[in-house]
Chains A and B, each alone.
Chain A
Amino acid sequence: MARETNPRLQKIKHLLQYVSLSIVILAVWQTLYHLGYIKPIILPPPSKIALTFWELLNSGAMAKHVGISVLRVLEGFGIAAVLGLSLGIAIGLSRTFDRLTDLIIQVIKPIPPIAWIPLAILWFGIGEKSKVYIIFLGAFFPIIINTIDGIRQTDHKFVEVARILEVPRFKFVRQVVIPGAFPAIMTGIRVGLMVAWMCVVAAELIAAGSGIGYLIMDARQLSQSDVVLVGMITIGIIGKLMDSLIKRLEKRLIGWKVSYVGD
């Protein structure tokens, strides 16, 4: 028999594969609740979470929290992207600049953004700035490190070709080094955005009155585990959507790169 090649059936099959594990987990979870194995106060069932989500959505609270968190993430991430890319390119190109900055980058990098909260409050107060700063710190390092690595991995053969063709330094950087580093840079951007979302809860520990992080911490104090889960899942979903968006952009920009896609 011929292999199934109908592209539409294929697409449906892939979509089913994509969501099947999540559906199975939700189903088992719900069933265990109905069988009385999990107490709703410890772990509310999916049905209850969905209901809470719906209520938050209808009251407009969700839109407000999501909106402010997205804004903070985009601000922190945006600054991190601009600074991380430009510094990363400069450091990648200059050994001297690398030696000057390496120690300080390597020492600051392992410090978790959450540890910066006291200083962030002293420096920027309890307003938006300190929250954006925490998110910026999280996103900055993956972007700068990947940019430096990408530039350093420029194929030596390209350097030789460029020397033979007498490519001026500036054009060499713009037309050979940066395009070559682009896949690594995109990885940095994606990881940076992911870490930015991971930092939003930490950032909203700082005297926040709104945001998904706030929603979670507030619900924690009121023992509303369903709201906590709604907040967590919302962060997960928005993070995933943004990642997909960047992935699509990446595919368009670096379609020339063929990599292993799995069997």
Chain B
Amino acid sequence: MELVFSNIAKSFKRGAKDRVVALDDISFSVAEGELVCLLGPSGCGKSTLLKMAAGFEFPDTGSVTADGKPVCKPHPDRGMVFQDYALFPWLTVEENIAFGPEMNGTDRREIRERIRRFITLVGLTGFEKAHPHQLSGGMKQRVGIARMLAMSPKVLLMDEPFGALDAFTRMEMQEELTNLWQAAPFTTVFVTHDVEEAVYLADRIAVMTSRPGKLKTIVPVPLSRPRVRTDHDFVQIRNHVLKQYERTQPSAAEYSI
């Protein structure tokens, strides 16, 4: 599925008359099977963009289309993975994964088959009957990903999915996501504020700046996978992305009394 963001603008109310521009004329597209990272500091509106792609929020002007059709409500085709996992704590790992397929009336045998397949795929074999509170953060997010994959989505929207994990678990999850994605390249929009994460994962990085949220540039990452974080080319691209954030805004803070 191809996602196209065209001329997106959105502002929020602040106080009685004041409005804050959150997103200012943003256009880019995500091709079928492409992995695009939305990179930017907090407050640049990257999560808002993702929510628009999911169908939870809508731009003031401009549009988001999925395969040419405007996005007007959430749909299982566009699966979402949350930073805080959003697993149902009263369900076991396999019940969480089965939840979506059960809701749309998939038959029992097919559900069992999918549970088995996705639990193996995300490496949770042996934890089928565990409850979320018994799992580590990385494992919880594996369930979060498996739950969405079980709906065979055409797009995976990931909202800082590894943001709450420690650095080592994060690297491990990035590797595994790469493996999953390479095995079956699903269109992916991955929101992050971690430059290295973006360079490691993305085909292209949408570099965003904040106040107002603008798309500064799009950086392609033409490196073969698996990528090595210490490689010369990797470091070069990382530095290039970091440079985009130098002096893009007045460095002095605004004071008022």
Q: Measuring CB to CB, which residues of chain A are less than 8 angstroms from any residue of chain B?
A: 155, 157-158, 160-161, 163-168, 171, 175-176, 179-180, 182, 254-258
Contacts and interface: CB of A to CB of B under 8 A. Distances in A.
B88 A179 contact: yes
Interface string B94-132: 000001100110000000000000000000000000011
B199 to A, nearest CB: 29
Main secondary structure of the interface of B (DSSP, over half): loop
B212 interface: no
A164 B86 contact: no
Contact of B74 (A155, A163, A171, A175): A163
A198 B148 CA distance: 50
11 contacts: A161-B82, A163-B56, A163-B74, A164-B75, A164-B148, A165-B104, A179-B88, A179-B90, A180-B88, A256-B90, A256-B132
B52 to A, nearest CB: 13
B86 A160 contact: yes
Contacts of A179: 88, 90
A158 B79 contact: no
Contact of A176 (B75, B76, B88, B104): B88
A157 B82 contact: yes
B84 A165 contact: no
A160 B88 contact: no
B86 A161 contact: yes
A34 to B, nearest CB: 53
Given A160-B56, A164-B79, A166-B104, A254 B90 contact: yes
A155 B85 CA distance: 12
Contact of B100 (A158, A165, A254): A165
A256 B89 contact: yes
Given A158-B86, A161-B82, 7 more contacts: A160-B56, A163-B55, A163-B73, A165-B99, A166-B103, A171-B103, A255-B131
B133 A256 contact: yes
A168 to B, nearest CB: 7
Contacts of A167: 103
Nearest to B105: A168
A165 B100 CA distance: 5
Contact of B89 (A163, A168, A175, A257): A257
B131 A256 contact: yes
Q: Which 4 A-B pairs have the closest CB atoms?
A: A157-B86, A165-B100, A163-B74, A179-B90
Interface residues of B, number: 26
A257 B133 CA distance: 8
Nearest to A157: B86
Nearest to A164: B74
B75 A160 contact: no
A164 B90 contact: no
Nearest to A162: B103
A54 to B, nearest CB: 47
B219 interface: no
B80 interface: yes
Contacts of A255: 131
B101 to A, nearest CB: 9
A6 to B, nearest CB: 26
A163 B86 CA distance: 13
Contacts of A256: 89-91, 131-133
B78 interface: yes
Nearest to A182: B90
A155 B99 CA distance: 17
B221 interface: no
Nearest to B89: A256
Nearest to A163: B74
B165 interface: no
Nearest to B78: A164
A171 B88 CA distance: 14
B151 interface: yes
A164 B54 contact: yes
Contacts of B148: 164
A259 to B, nearest CB: 10
Most buried by B among A157, A160, A161, A175: A161
Contacts of B76: 164-166
B133 A164 contact: no
Contacts of A257: 89, 133
B90 A165 contact: no
Nearest to B92: A256
A163 B131 CA distance: 23
Contacts of B100: 165
A166 B75 contact: yes
Contacts of B84: 157
B113 to A, nearest CB: 18
Interface in B161-178: none
